[in-house]
Structure 1
Amino acid sequence: MSVKSSISLTEQQDAFARSLVENGRYSSLSSVLQQGLELLRQKTETEMAETEALRELIQRRLNGPMLSDDAMGAAVDDMIERKRRALRVEP
């Protein structure tokens, strides 16, 4: 089912949409706008999914084991030392 809707475009948007139709990329201005809205819907859904995944990751990290400042410092120092040895870099 389609719904008729009145919209306003800038001159640049109108010219661009009409050029897509004139060049045969789309059959009508409606098709151009429908495709644009579909892309925006997909982008919005992707962003929402990514945001939710980040929230879940942050929550897992917050609920997971934590290192004290001293333990984290020691772990970083150890990692740096391993990298120095692997790359044969003098401190």
Structure 2
Amino acid sequence: MNVKTTVTLSDEDLRFAEELVEAGRFPSVSDVIGEGLARLRLEESGEDDPVAGMADEIRRRMELPRDQFLPWDGEVIAKRIKERLAQKRGE
């Protein structure tokens, strides 16, 4: 169920939201706000974000000396990420 409410945005925030709509990334300013709330809800819930896990893994690997870079194997990487997420969830 949707509930209509009024929010106050700074000129800068409104301009940014309107730019996202104009760029076709969102159908409306309301959807921009909704996405922001959904992301905050996910962050607050402590649930793991698989994309953030991938970003962390990439950052970790980029800190290695080049001769220690791991070969790219998408299936292996996906398996490792799934295992780490399962560990964090206590599965």
Structure with more helix by fraction: 1
Q: TM-score by structure 2 length? A: 0.50
TM-score, normalization by structure 1: 0.50
The answer to which structure, 1 or 2, has the higher relative contact order (CA under 8 A, 6+ apart) is: 2
